[in-house]
Amino acid sequence: MPDVTAGLLLVLLLILGAEFVNGWTDAPNAIATVVSTRSLSPYQAIVMAAVFNLLGVLSGTAVASTIGTGIIDARAVDLTTLGGAMVGIILWSSVAARWGLPTSESHALVAGLAGAGMATAGPDVLLWTGWKKVLWGLLFSSVLGLVAGRLCIGLVNGLARRAHPGRVRGLFRGLQILSSAFMAFSHGSNDGQKFMGTFTLALVLGGVLPAFAIPFPVMLVCAAMMAIGTLTGGWRIMRTMGMRITKLQTHQGFAAEMAAASTIELASRLGIPLSTTHTITTAIVGVGSARGVRAVRWGVTFEVVVAWVLTFPICALASYLSVALIRWVGR
């Protein structure tokens, strides 16, 4: 096996740092509703999320392949490109997390790769095959998540209409633990794979791997780092997603999680990288709006949407400037 150079090691550490931030700012979305309805304690939810995130990461590599080979042309970039992209992602996501805003690490990653790639090789470095899937991911997370949330809560309300409220809460408390596990699994099968793909691409560019094929140890390391990030700093994001957008009861949390997890899982099997943050947010809004427009705190929702919109240009620009600065210093 070729030696791991200092430059490659630094880039790999930056990728793991970005994966840590992913756990810090994005993975809490998978367990926010089950914590807000008190079906599980925060620590119980985190342990469950860590286990099912890992299982989700191990369930396939379609999304990782899209990120590693379909967003930018690997033949035109180098380790500096990946390192600059990770710097941009870490900076923006850390600032947003400081304010409790759930950013999309999916959008941060593709925007960071795009900005860093263009700083290295110009606009021609972007690959339409992968970006087409990114656009499909936007449609899935924004439209399908909202529609699925409304449909799920309509079905749940219909089934529970004649049941006693206490019995409904008790039944869906147990069911929500299952739906939250499904949500964590789907998060791993999509978001958990993204930085795994970037890590593998770095090993290829660094000459450690002859071709893009994701080793099992890379899966384990990335999944573990994401779990550590969630344990360390996910509380503010959980509060925003689980309590501030709309007040959820157990049956509503179950509907939101089932809607979001089903949408994410479908995208994962198609190799479509989408935002867990977008999907669970639109599902929560869909569930909450079924009680009426005023049931949703639109001011909080607007703050989350602004963070989404800013993610693309800020991460792209920060990553572009990071690569330009690194190359200027290295002259």
The Cα diameter of the chain in Å comes to 73
Mean pLDDT of the chain: 83
CA distance 96 to 88: 13
- Would you say residue 130 lies in a domain? yes
**Most trustworthy range by pLDDT among 14-28, 32-46, 56-70, 313-327:** 313-327
Place of tokens 């989350």: 304
Rg (CA), the chain: 19
What's the mean pLDDT in 277-281? 83
Q: What is the number of structural domains in the chain?
A: 1
Contact present, 20 and 224 (Cβ < 8 Å): no
> What's the confidence (pLDDT) of residue 234?
57
Measured between its terminal Cα atoms, the distance across the chain in Å is 30
Does the pLDDT value for residue 52 go beyond 70? Answer: yes
> What's the confidence (pLDDT) of residue 96?
72
Name the DSSP class of 29. G
What's the mean pLDDT in 151-180? 81
**Which residues pair with residue 72 across a beta bridge?**
126
Does the pLDDT value for residue 99 go beyond 80? Answer: no
**Which residues pair with residue 40 across a beta bridge?**
none
Confidence at 110, pLDDT banded by 50, 70, 90: very high
CA distance 302 to 51: 32
- Would you say residue 1 lies in a domain? no
Residues near 321 by beta carbon (within 8 Å), at least 6 away in sequence: 88, 119
Which stretches of 117-163 are assigned E, i.e. beta strand? none
Higher pLDDT, 330 or 325: 325
> What's the confidence (pLDDT) of residue 287?
85
Kindly tell me the sign of the dihedral angle through the C-alpha atoms of 216, 218, 219, 221.
positive
What's the mean pLDDT in 92-102? 71
Q: Which domain holds residue 142?
A: 6-329
CA distance 324 to 256: 42
Q: Could you read off the pLDDT of 222-271 as tens digits, one per residue?
A: 888 877 877 775 555 555 554 555 567 788 888 888 999 999 999 999 99
Contact present, 31 and 46 (Cβ < 8 Å): yes
- Would you say residue 174 lies in a domain? yes
What's the mean pLDDT in 156-174? 77
> What's the confidence (pLDDT) of residue 260?
92
SS3 of residue 72 by DSSP: strand
- Would you say residue 14 lies in a domain? yes
Contact present, 326 and 77 (Cβ < 8 Å): no
Phi then psi dihedrals of residue 59, to 5 deg: -85, -10
Confidence at 216, pLDDT banded by 50, 70, 90: confident
Does the pLDDT value for residue 143 go beyond 80? Answer: yes
- Would you say residue 171 lies in a domain? yes
Nearest to 322 by CA among 92, 36, 35: 92
